[in-house]
Amino acid sequence: MTQAENVKWDEQVLPFELRNSDIRGRVVRLDKTVNDILAQHSYPAKVESLISEMVIITALLGSMVEPRWKLSLQVQTDGPVRMIATDYYAAGQDGGAAKIRAYTSYDADRLTEGAPFEQLGQGYFAVLVDQGEGTKPYQALSALTGSSIAEAAEGYFQSSEQIDTKLLVEHGETYLPNEQSHWRAAGILLQHVPRSRKEMAKVEELDEREHARRKDEDWSRVNILLGTVENLELLGPFVSPPDLIWRLFNEEAPAVYEPRKVQFGCTCSEERVRNSLSIYGVKDIEKMTTEDGLVTADCQFCNRHFALDPASVGKDGSTA
């Protein structure tokens, strides 16, 4: 497979299963998606690095949610980078592309010479899943532990979901002759989900202690295999994701499934801004009106600016 053909795997999440060890996984490579997200703001390189890592984790986790669901991840800290927020909107239909957006708030004058993760300080990692109208969103959080956002996400699954999870993320700026530098990011997710149907069948034949021992052996073995992956293998474009899965896990009976497309996308709109302002009365709208006689709002994710006539917003769509 040529380099050009492998590039076609960009902006896609490839689900796979390791049938010999009851482990499911995802592999993703993002180029345009990450750069489109970063282009919405002018972030320092260390902040861009953190966002790139967060976006990859969001794509890996988000691809496991059902159609029409929304997954949101958030990191909140007391460090120079105070918050990173991402949203994943499921495609909603077969063949469509899921949409990802991301935003961060930070204090530029507090950024240090340390590594990107050192800009976060103490805080938490949060997950919110919105299943749509008529349902109650699920939300959980855990302490921001480890030495990367990926390790913090692993800690979340271990403490909140009791699911063995491994996240491997690579990202960085690429430099090509006569071209501007840009970001490229990739990642692999492994999860050993407890009590699958296949595991239940095993439990009937084995006692719990033996079953647990075999499960631990499977998880350890697969993680050792994952540890052999090289940076350029994961980031590509010289090795395709299916070839990479086979190279790493060929003895685990791997099976790959239909890839899922992802792209940058924001859900902000004038209608949404109007809806958010509909709870305010005359006096509140007057306070929000600028010297130019407009009510303004900015989308933190895509930096889009809205300027509205005060008479058209607020309760009943009017300030009169």
- Please list the rounded mean pLDDT of every run of 10 residues in the chain (320 residues): 61 94 93 94 94 96 85 96 95 83 95 95 94 83 94 92 91 70 91 64 61 80 94 87 95 94 88 81 81 81 83 64
Q: How far apart are CA 254 and CA 282, in angstroms?
A: 62
Query: Where does CATH 3.55.30.10 sit in the chain?
Result: 3-264
Contact, 103 vs 58, CB < 8 A?
Answer: no
What are the distances in angstroms from CA 212 to CA 139, 151, 197? 29, 24, 15
pLDDT at 318: 46
Q: What does each C-alpha distance from 40 to 29, 85, 128, 265, 308 come to in angstroms?
A: 20, 14, 24, 11, 22
What CATH number does the domain located at 270-317 have? 3.90.1280
What pLDDT shows up at residue 320? 38
What's the pLDDT score for residue 2?
Answer: 47
pTM exceeds 0.75, yes or no: yes
pLDDT of residue 306: 83
Q: Quote the pLDDT of residue 314.
A: 75
Gap between the Cα atoms of 297 and 274, Å rounded:
10
Write the CB contacts of 8 (distance below 8 Å, at least 6 apart in sequence): none
Q: Name the strand (E) or helix (H) holding 11.
A: none
pLDDT at 72 (0 to 100): 95
Of 3.30.420.10, 3.30.390.10, 3.90.550.60, 3.55.30.10, which CATH number belongs to 3-264? Answer: 3.55.30.10
How many helices (DSSP H) and strands (DSSP E) are in the chain? 10, 13
CB 72 within 8 A of CB 248: no
CA distance 49 to 47: 5
> Considering just the CA atoms, what is the radius of gyration of the chain in Å?
22
Domain with CATH 3.90.1280 in the chain: 270-317
